[in-house]
């Protein structure tokens, strides 16, 4: 299959390139897309590289943090001050693949490919992150939870690109995951928690569940205290482990996933809230 | 030591199978069976032929005209009636590009009247096979042997320990996929292949294509890892048939997914062990093995008749009865993997003994020491045990375990296990030494597969045998038409068997030189101007002792051969099947400390020690590299590696993402102790070390998990989910 790779040097040119062919797809690090292209799960002969776009920045802004979509994850996790402000987000970034892979993989790619097992989607859902987008009709801003329609399905318009993600200034947070092999593997389950400024409860989001990573409002209701009691943590863990839809597949049984949610939520809360670990 | 191949490999300058090119070369691709079982109705190659770039497309129909001998009853190149596994090649195509060949293979229409496949040995035998099962069509191999009165031993026992273990399939995961280039001209069928066994491929290919072996010439290339997966003909007969059909050279190489789907790998097994004990002494053992052999078992009883001995182990255990079935399933043929199926057997036996010792209230290492073979003991098949490092390795491990124990943290555990192996010199071979005034040429057929056994090991043996510096030894590998015959690079036998052949050839060389020098003994030395012969008559350049023909031609030639020596087994103890005697007795002990997450079941090996019985060290860096590599591979078998099959016999994880070999982050600090002094079958008393270091790793890790948690996991590998299930078991 012949492939063309275009490398536009500006946002408008990138959007134009995406609109120029019906099968055009954007490529950043390519760590996920290339596998799907090779396996025929994605069919495209026109790749549009985002390497020339000015979106590889990670910076503090007036409203919090702005993480550019084409910044390699390795740069994100090493950004000064980010781990102190968003410990859970950096834990999640560090859990992706391996250090070598994170030199190529990007935040925008992880979002855009919207894998059901993504390690970044749960923490971004828990942080209630805004995604900034640019398309033929100009820029817009949307909540990740609204954009994420399903497995491998992010509601982007034709020719629309992810510019970056906006995070609050800081939020206590944690991300706990489980895999058969710690590095270069897919998480069987990921549990993210965060308490963004002004929130009246802990946000809980799960990865490795069907059909896509999701928040668990019923569990969150049990977690209004900044430092939840043992009993509250147990109740939330119990609710979370029964609330979502779990599948049995080659990576784990539904039963094990359920057990993991319980364990990992307790651990994440213990880490983030400084509370007791039941 | 610098590996002579290191610089070229680091620069990317060496040629592996997938790098081969020939002028006018085509690319081949295989047409896979879309079903795991059923009757082959039709193979329509029309759409494949119409694909742009296609030069040849062949199935059984075309072979009937082109090469009818390739449709023999035993091993037809393409199935004629029944397909045996999903992905089985039912046809092949050759085209001008690899992409065109693949597109054509996809375009072929294969019609199969599908049947429900047998995906698992327990589908076929949910219960232990009854009397007469040995002649079931689903049984590929059956072995049964023993000695002593087992019934009486179990009747007298004060304790009987009975367990069932299950092990998963494992793939070799060589970095380089299978690849070869075939050319057919002037009646010579020539194939250059990334193989561990050029002569084995020649003979196998001859049998499959129905051609005389001497019309087939196999040449090797640098091999990017074999681990047993490149030990028999696989792609070569297809590539040759395509070269014959197209009249052009044809390269055939697998993608990595195909490597998983079609490669011959080790498959799953169910192992039942019963041990009878009186007080603290083992008096009887019953072993029952159901081994998944896929659609066929190359080497017939090897996987059952050889491996089953590892379920008795290097121990005195009184009366013994073993029975094993190789069971046919609709998977690709069973294939060997570094110490074929032995780490799985050692896992079962050493877990079993560990649990038994704990039940008896005896320290597990002391329990093993009380039963381990000493030289002069007898195997259950009546073979005398030779020099064996088992006791020393166990004592060294026990000492290390005592030193580690005080620092083993809460939630951690220590475990040890003993594996046993025999250097495969029963697979014999030959070499040719050619001495001129300047260098010693070592001529043989094998290519380097990555361990260093050929390029550095054979050279080291030749240097040590002759007394010459290694840089004067020139290793020359050539094809099966010109090189002396050899069995292959497998079975931990390369340095051992070919090394013995080198030693013998050197003795002949020196005998000739001694005669010509006017009497011996003589030896070779580097002189001022080339190689000298030094003896009672003084020092003379080799060149002066050569005949004119030798001087003008290829030098003085001596051939050496070694065809293994093993004391016989007692045939009266064998009831059915083939069993193999041991050429020597090699011990490998591992000690591991693990940390177990009590809630998720994750296991992390935090430190380990390997105690390897090596007989004699020929090259310490190479030996240590084998121990390290074997340990890491064993770690994968212990914790993460397994092939997962659906109920319709589809491989669910044909990728490096879901077939998980260890990463560097998973590898703990490893202390390596090499134990010399119990000589083996190789030159200078060396024992083969390619396979032994993997043997005991899964068992040591499993025993450490049992030590940490008090729970025994009887399924391999010990994935977090399996461990977690054992932890919550009531």
Q: What is the pLDDT of residue B299?
A: 66
In a domain, B688, yes or no: yes
- Residue B187 confidence (pLDDT) above 70: yes
Are A180 and B719 an interchain contact pair (Cβ–Cβ within 8 Å)? Answer: yes
- Residue A277 pLDDT level (bands cut at 50, 70, 90): very low
Q: Select the residue from A39, A180, A259, A265 to test the B interface by mutation, using most B Cβ atoms within 10 A.
A: A180
Residues B238 and B365 in one domain: no
Can you tell me the mean pLDDT for A155-178?
97
Q: What is the pLDDT of residue A244?
A: 86
- Residue B52 confidence (pLDDT) above 70: yes
Range 600-629 of B in CB contact (< 8 A) with A: 600, 602
Are B663 and A178 an interchain contact pair (Cβ–Cβ within 8 Å)? Answer: no
User: Out of B602, B721, B728, whose CB is closest to A253?
Assistant: B721
- Structural contact between residues B86 and B33, judged by C-beta atoms closer than 8 angstroms: yes
Distance from CA of A265 to the nearest CA of B (A): 12
The residue among B361, B358, B342, B291 whose CA lies nearest residue B143 is B291
- Structural contact between residues B25 and B97, judged by C-beta atoms closer than 8 angstroms: no
B52–chain A Cβ distance below 8 A for any pair: no
pLDDT digits (tens, 9 = 90+) for B93-151: 999 999 999 999 999 999 999 999 999 999 999 999 988 999 999 999 999 999 999 99
pLDDT digits (tens, 9 = 90+) for A98-152: 999 999 999 999 999 999 999 999 999 999 999 999 999 999 999 999 999 999 9
CATH 3.30.43-classified regions of chain A: 4-49
- Beta strands B319-327 and B281-292 are parallel
Residues B594 and B516 in one domain: no
Mean residue pLDDT of chain A comes to 94
CA distance B440 to B443: 10
Q: Select the residue from B641, B721, B722, B727 to test the A interface by mutation, using most A Cβ atoms within 10 A.
A: B721
Residues B192 and B47 in one domain: yes
Total of domains in chain B: 3
Nearest CA in chain B to A2: B99
Residues B613 and B554 in one domain: no
Are B665 and A182 an interchain contact pair (Cβ–Cβ within 8 Å)? Answer: yes
CATH no. for residue B719? 3.30.365.10
Are B721 and A1 an interchain contact pair (Cβ–Cβ within 8 Å)? Answer: no
Distance from CA of B621 to the nearest CA of A (A): 28
SS3 B85: coil
Q: H-helix or E-strand containing B217?
A: strand B216-220
Pairs of residues, one from chain A and one from chain B, whose beta carbons lie less than 8 Å apart: 50
User: With contacts defined as CB-CB under 8 Å, which chain A residues touch B653?
Assistant: 250
Residues B554 and B520 in one domain: yes
CA distance B151 to B141: 25
The CATH classification number of A58-167 equals: 3.30.465.10
Task: Report the share of chain B in percent with pLDDT over 70.
Answer: 99
Are B657 and A185 an interchain contact pair (Cβ–Cβ within 8 Å)? Answer: yes
Are A98 and B644 an interchain contact pair (Cβ–Cβ within 8 Å)? Answer: no
Residues B506 and B626 in one domain: no
Distance from CA of A117 to the nearest CA of B (A): 13
Q: What is the pLDDT of residue A40?
A: 85
Residues B583 and B691 in one domain: yes
User: With contacts defined as CB-CB under 8 Å, which chain B residues touch A182?
Assistant: 663, 665-666
User: With contacts defined as CB-CB under 8 Å, which chain A residues touch B599?
Assistant: 259, 263
Are A250 and B719 an interchain contact pair (Cβ–Cβ within 8 Å)? Answer: no
Which residue range is the domain that position B546 belongs to? Answer: 429-562
Residues B491 and B436 in one domain: yes
Mean residue pLDDT of chain B comes to 96
CA distance B67 to B75: 14
Phi and psi angles of residue B661, each rounded to the nearest 5 degrees, phi first: -85, 160
User: With contacts defined as CB-CB under 8 Å, which chain B residues touch A183?
Assistant: 663, 665-666
Q: What is the pLDDT of residue A278?
A: 43
User: With contacts defined as CB-CB under 8 Å, which chain B residues touch A186?
Assistant: 657-658
- Residue A1 pLDDT level (bands cut at 50, 70, 90): low
Q: Select the residue from B720, B725, B726 to test the A interface by mutation, using most A Cβ atoms within 10 A.
A: B720
Count of Cβ atoms closer than 10 Å to residue A167 Cβ: 27
In a domain, B162, yes or no: no
Residues B374 and B511 in one domain: no
Are B658 and A250 an interchain contact pair (Cβ–Cβ within 8 Å)? Answer: yes
- Residue A276 confidence (pLDDT) above 50: no
User: Out of B644, B663, B728, whose CB is closest to A250?
Assistant: B644
Q: What is the pLDDT of residue B552?
A: 87
Q: What is the pLDDT of residue B302?
A: 72
User: With contacts defined as CB-CB under 8 Å, which chain B residues touch A259?
Assistant: 599, 724, 728
Are A98 and B665 an interchain contact pair (Cβ–Cβ within 8 Å)? Answer: yes
Are B666 and A181 an interchain contact pair (Cβ–Cβ within 8 Å)? Answer: yes
Q: Chain A residues within 8 A (CB-CB) of chain B?
A: 1, 35, 39, 98, 178-186, 188, 250-253, 256, 259-260, 263-264
Q: Select the residue from B599, B602, B603 to test the A interface by mutation, using most A Cβ atoms within 10 A.
A: B599
- Residue B570 confidence (pLDDT) above 60: yes
Q: In whole angstroms, what separates CA B556 from the centre of its chain?
A: 36
Q: H-helix or E-strand containing B597?
A: none
The CATH classification number of A4-49 equals: 3.30.43
B599–chain A Cβ distance below 8 A for any pair: yes
User: Out of A39, A250, A253, whose CB is closest to B652?
Assistant: A250
Q: Select the residue from B99, B595, B598, B600 to test the A interface by mutation, using most A Cβ atoms within 10 A.
A: B600
Structure tokens at B587: 């011990």
Nearest CA in chain B to A263: B599
In a domain, B269, yes or no: no
CATH no. for residue B60? 3.90.1170.50
- Residue A274 confidence (pLDDT) above 80: no
Phi and psi angles of residue B527, each rounded to the nearest 5 degrees, phi first: -105, -170
- Beta strands A58-61 and A64-68 are antiparallel
The residue among A197, A262, A199, A206 whose CA lies nearest residue A225 is A199
For tokens 């300047």, what's the residue?
B438
Residues ≥6 apart with Cβ < 8 Å to B284? B148, B150, B153, B154, B157, B274, B275, B276, B317, B318, B319, B320
In a domain, B150, yes or no: no
Nearest CA in chain A to B725: A256
CATH 3.30.465.10-classified regions of chain A: 58-167
Task: Report the share of chain B in percent with pLDDT over 90.
Answer: 94
Q: H-helix or E-strand containing B343?
A: helix B342-360
Q: Please state which of the four CATH numbers 3.30.390.50, 3.40.50.300, 3.30.930.10, 3.40.50.1000 is assigned to the domain occupying A173-273.
A: 3.30.390.50
- Residue B553 pLDDT level (bands cut at 50, 70, 90): confident
Q: Select the residue from A3, A34, A181 to test the B interface by mutation, using most B Cβ atoms within 10 A.
A: A181
User: With contacts defined as CB-CB under 8 Å, which chain A residues touch B600?
Assistant: 178, 260, 263-264
Task: Report the share of chain A in percent with pLDDT over 90.
Answer: 91
Distance from CA of B603 to the nearest CA of A (A): 9
User: With contacts defined as CB-CB under 8 Å, which chain A residues touch B728?
Assistant: 259
pLDDT digits (tens, 9 = 90+) for B258-301: 999 999 999 999 999 999 999 999 999 999 999 999 998 776 56
Residues B542 and B610 in one domain: no
Q: Which of B528, B545, B562 is the last residue of a domain?
A: B562
Are B600 and A263 an interchain contact pair (Cβ–Cβ within 8 Å)? Answer: yes
Residues B587 and B686 in one domain: yes
B79–chain A Cβ distance below 8 A for any pair: no
What b-and-e string marks burial along A78-104, b requiring 16 or more CB atoms within 10 Å of the CB?
Answer: ebeebbebbbbbbbbbbbbbeeebbeb
User: With contacts defined as CB-CB under 8 Å, which chain A residues touch B640?
Assistant: 180-181
What b-and-e string marks burial along B97-123, b requiring 16 or more CB atoms within 10 Å of the CB?
Answer: ebebbbbbbebbebebeeeebbbbbeb
User: Out of B257, B599, B660, whose CB is closest to A263?
Assistant: B599
B662–chain A Cβ distance below 8 A for any pair: yes
Distance from CA of B95 to the nearest CA of A (A): 15
- Residue A275 confidence (pLDDT) above 60: no
Radius of gyration of chain B (CA): 27
Distance from CA of B417 to the nearest CA of A (A): 23
Strands (E), chain A: 4-6, 25-27, 46-49, 58-61, 64-68, 130-135, 138-143, 148-150, 153-154, 161-167, 173-178, 189-194, 203-207, 214-215
CATH 3.30.390.50-classified regions of chain A: 173-273
CA distance B221 to B194: 5
Are B666 and A183 an interchain contact pair (Cβ–Cβ within 8 Å)? Answer: yes
User: Out of B99, B660, B728, whose CB is closest to A181?
Assistant: B660
Can you tell me the mean pLDDT for B426-430?
93
Are B657 and A183 an interchain contact pair (Cβ–Cβ within 8 Å)? Answer: no
B98–chain A Cβ distance below 8 A for any pair: no
Residues B588 and B450 in one domain: no
CA distance A175 to A125: 12
């Amino acid at each position: 299959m012949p492939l063309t790779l275009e490398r536009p040097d500006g946002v408008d040119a990138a959007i134009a390139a995406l609109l120029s062919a019906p099968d055009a797809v954007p490529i950043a690090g390519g760590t996920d897309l290339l596998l799907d292209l090779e396996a025929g799960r994605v069919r495209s002969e026109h790749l549009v590289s985002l390497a020339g776009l000015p979106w590889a920045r990670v910076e503090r802004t007036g409203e919090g943090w702005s993480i550019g979509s084409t910044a390699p994850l390795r740069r994100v996790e090493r950004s000064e001050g980010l781990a102190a402000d968003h410990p859970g987000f950096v834990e999640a970034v560090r859990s992706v693949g391996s250090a070598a892979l994170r030199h190529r993989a990007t935040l925008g790619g992880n979002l855009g490919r919207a894998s059901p097992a993504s390690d970044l989607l749960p923490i971004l859902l828990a942080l209630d992150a805004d995604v900034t987008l640019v398309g033929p009709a100009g820029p817009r801003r949307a909540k990740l939870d609204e954009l994420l329609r399903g497995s491998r399905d992010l509601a982007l318009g034709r020719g629309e690109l992810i510019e970056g993600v906006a995070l609050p200034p800081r939020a206590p947070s944690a991300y706990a995951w489980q895999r058969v092999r710690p590095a270069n593997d897919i998480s069987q389950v990921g549990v993210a928690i965060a308490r963004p400024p002004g929130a009246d409860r802990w946000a809980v989001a799960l990865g490795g569940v069907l059909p896509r990573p999701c928040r668990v409002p019923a569990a969150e209701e049990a977690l209004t205290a900044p430092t939840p009691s043992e009993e509250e943590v147990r109740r939330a863990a119990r609710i979370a482990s029964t609330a979502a839809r779990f599948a049995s597949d080659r990576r784990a049984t539904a039963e094990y996933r359920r057990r993991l949610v319980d364990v990992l939520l307790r651990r994440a809360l213990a880490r983030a809230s400084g509370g007791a670990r039941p | 030591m610098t590996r002579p191949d290191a610089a070229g490999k680091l620069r990317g300058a060496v040629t592996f199978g997938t790098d081969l090119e020939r002028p006018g070369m085509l690319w081949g691709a295989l047409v896979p069976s879309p079903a795991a079982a059923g009757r082959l109705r039709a193979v329509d190659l029309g759409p494949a032929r119409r694909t742009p770039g296609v030069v040849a497309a062949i199935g059984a129909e075309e072979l009937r005209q082109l090469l009818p001998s390739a449709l023999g009853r035993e091993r037809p190149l393409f199935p004629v009636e029944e397909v045996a596994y999903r992905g089985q090649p039912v046809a092949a195509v050759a085209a001008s590009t690899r992409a065109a060949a693949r597109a054509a293979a996809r375009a072929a229409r294969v019609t199969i009247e599908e049947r429900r496949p047998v995906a698992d040995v327990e589908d076929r035998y949910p219960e232990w096979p009854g009397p007469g099962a040995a002649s079931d069509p689903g049984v590929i191999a059956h072995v049964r042997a023993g000695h002593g009165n087992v019934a009486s031993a179990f009747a007298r026992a004060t304790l009987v320990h009975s367990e069932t273990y299950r092990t998963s399939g494992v793939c070799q995961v060589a970095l380089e996929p299978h690849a070869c280039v075939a050319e057919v001209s002037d009646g010579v069928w020539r194939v250059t292949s990334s193989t561990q066994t050029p002569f084995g491929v020649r003979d196998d290919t001859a049998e499959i294509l129905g051609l005389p072996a001497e019309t087939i010439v196999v040449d090797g290339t640098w091999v990017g890892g074999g681990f047993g997966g490149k030990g028999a003909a696989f792609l070569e007969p297809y590539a040759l048939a395509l070269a014959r059909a197209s009249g052009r050279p044809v390269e055939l190489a697998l993608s990595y997914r195909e490597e998983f789907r079609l490669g011959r790998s080790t498959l799953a097994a169910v192992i039942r062990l019963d041990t009878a004990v009186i007080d603290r002494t083992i008096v009887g053992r019953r072993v029952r093995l159901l081994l998944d052999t896929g659609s066929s078992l190359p080497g017939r009883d090897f996987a059952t008749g050889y491996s089953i001995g590892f379920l008795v182990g290097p121990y005195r255990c009184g009366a013994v009865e073993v029975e094993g079935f190789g069971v046919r399933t609709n998977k690709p043929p069973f294939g060997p993997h570094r110490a074929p199926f032995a780490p799985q057997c050692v896992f079962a036996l050493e877990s079993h003994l560990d649990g038994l010792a704990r039940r008896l209230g005896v320290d597990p290492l002391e329990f093993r020491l009380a039963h381990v073979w000493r030289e002069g003991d007898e195997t259950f098949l009546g073979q005398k045990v030779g020099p064996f490092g088992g006791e020393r390795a166990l004592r060294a491990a026990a000492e290390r375990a005592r030193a580690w124990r005080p620092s083993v943290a809460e939630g951690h555990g220590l475990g040890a296990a003993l594996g046993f192996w025999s250097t495969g010199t029963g697979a014999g071979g030959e070499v040719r030494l050619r001495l001129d005034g300047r260098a010693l040429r070592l001529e043989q057929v094998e290519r380097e597969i990555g361990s260093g056994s050929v390029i550095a090991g054979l050279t080291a043996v030749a240097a040590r045998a002759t007394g010459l510096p290694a840089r004067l030894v020139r290793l020359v590998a050539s094809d099966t038409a010109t090189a002396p015959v050899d069995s292959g690079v497998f079975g931990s036998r390369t340095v051992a068997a070919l090394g013995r052949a080198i030693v013998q050839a050197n003795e002949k060389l020196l005998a000739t030189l001694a005669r010509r020098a006017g009497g011996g003994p003589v030896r070779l030395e580097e002189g001022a101007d080339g190689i000298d012969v030094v003896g009672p008559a003084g020092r003379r350049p080799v060149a002066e002792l050569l005949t004119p023909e030798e001087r003008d031609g290829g030098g003085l030639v001596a051939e050496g051969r070694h065809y293994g020596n093993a004391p016989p087994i007692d045939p009266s103890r064998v009831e059915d099947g083939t069993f193999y005697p041991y050429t020597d007795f090699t011990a490998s002990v591992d000690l591991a400390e693990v940390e177990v997450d009590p809630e998720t079941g994750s296991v992390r090996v935090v430190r380990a020690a390997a105690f390897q019985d090596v007989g004699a060290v020929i090259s310490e860096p190479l030996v240590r590299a084998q121990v390290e590599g074997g340990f890491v591979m064993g770690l994968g078998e212990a914790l993460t590696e397994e092939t997962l099959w659906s109920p319709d016999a589809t491989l669910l994880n044909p990728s490096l993402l879901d077939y998980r070999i260890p990463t560097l982050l998973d590898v703990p600090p490893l202390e390596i102790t090499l134990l010399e002094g119990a000589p083996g079958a190789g030159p200078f008393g060396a024992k083969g070390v390619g396979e032994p270091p993997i043997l005991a790793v899964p068992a040591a890790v499993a025993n450490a998990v049992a030590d940490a948690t008090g729970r025994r996991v009887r399924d391999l590998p010990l994935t977090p989910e399996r461990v977690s299930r054992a932890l919550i078991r009531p």
